[in-house]
Structure 1
């Protein structure tokens, strides 16, 4: 299965200067719970924005057009088809985790969407690409818990393709 997993503000902002524009530990926990022991696919800029540190206990796939790109502890792939071929034979889930270009590449291939909506507007330079929401059905929406570490109202949503 190919799934998308991302967080965005109300305007679709997903990043700022290579990092997340907010601090929301609940969302990071949600991300970890969904992706642990699965595969995550991200672009080179997203990976480098995380300090070039692979996520533990996951297959980290870095998608880049640079044929010479190398990084420790990750699998580098150079095409959408290479990722799709991997996902077809992989027994667990393959999560598309960003950035915008990688999300655009797999819009027709996703089976499930996991979206965290963070209430509010944040300064950002990266947006989630347009999605035809008519193709998707929401099956779950769970409000996140607010506390001293999670100050922004947020909702965890799950969609399946109609």
Structure 2
């Protein structure tokens, strides 16, 4: 199964200047729980936003830079090539950024979205979720608290 996992604001904002716009510890925890032990597919800028590769995951980086070779990563030139590097019986998680989500939307079977209930100025956005193509199967609301500055919901969508 191909799963896109993202945290996106009400206006689909993902980030600005290659950084996140919020700090939601429960979202980080959920991301780790879902992606650990799996292949994660991302663009070069997303990979470079990490201080180091994420543990217990196979990193597949999509880039047009032919000489790009970060240690411990599979580097490919397209979404099709990235998906071909994932064993047939394993889930693949597409983790961003905005351009990679755009490319991945046609291949995704499921969307795991943390919807941040606010609007942000951004330069990277999640593609709009077409209700004719996607059915919401879960929507779990979490109010802001002392560790989370914004209300958010964990939402799941499956392709119709």
- TM-score by structure 2 length? 0.94
Is 1:46 matched with 2:30?
no
Mapping of residues 2-151 of structure 1, within 5 Å: 2-51=2-51, 53-87=52-86, 89-144=87-142, 146-151=144-149
For the residue of structure 1 that corresponds to 2:20, the secondary structure is: coil
Runs of 4+ with >6 A deviation: none
CA contact 1:4–1:95 (8 Å) conserved in 2: yes
Deviation sequence 1:99-135 (CA, Å, 0-9, x none): 1111111211100000111111223211112342311
Give the strand-richer structure, 1 or 2: 2
TM-score using structure 1 length? 0.92
SS in 2 for 1:101: helix
Equivalent residues, number: 160
C-alpha distance in 2 between matches for 1:41 and 1:84: 8
How much does 1:145 deviate? 5.3
